[in-house]
Amino acid sequence: MTWTFLNVVEDKSMSISNNRVKTYCRMATELACLSNQKLSDLLETAKPRHSGIGGESVLLTMGDHSIFVKKLPLTDLEKQPENILSTANLFDLPLIYQYGIGSTGFGAWRELVVHIMTTNWVI
């Protein structure tokens, strides 16, 4: 199981903030309405960007829109129903554990929540 994070990163019509928010809402709705199979098919044709310890990223193009997609691999512990979307330190890692130095961080769900928060800050 892989959790996929999608974010609109470029749109040629996003010249002002209001257009950016409208475009984001429209694209987010369009993506949310896709079936799992259709989304998987689109991701198979997306342009690869990066693959490493923290997952894989691709650039998906839909019309004039480029969408950053990061696939976050989930551990068995993260897949357990009680842990879905949990930002808890599920692996009991020391608090000094640093995401940016070759680790996978405190978990995929925490990373997803951070991306959602930062996306909401800029829209």
- Residue-wise pLDDT for 53-100, tens only, equals 777 899 999 988 999 998 888 899 999 999 999 989 898 888 777 655
Which residue carries 């342009």 as its tokens?
Answer: 47
**Average pLDDT over every residue of 102-112:** 76
Residue 4 pLDDT > 60, yes or no?
A: no
* Inter-CA distances, 74 with 18, 34, 84, 106, Å: 35, 22, 10, 12
Domain that holds residue 117: 2-122
pLDDT for residue 95:
75
pLDDT of residue 122: 82
Give the count of domains, the chain: 1
Instruction: Tell me the DSSP string of 33-80.
Output: TS-HHHHHHHHHHSEEEEEETTEEEEEEEETTEEEEEEEEE--HHHHS
- 8-17, 57-66, 88-97, 113-122 — most confident range: 57-66
Task: Please give the helix or strand (H or E) that residue 21 lies within, else none.
Answer: helix 17-32
CA–CA gap between residue 27 and residue 31 (Å, rounded): 6
67 CB burial (10 A radius; 0-12, 13-18, 19+) = buried
pLDDT at 102: 54
Which is more confident, 32 or 11? 32
pTM for the full predicted model: 0.69
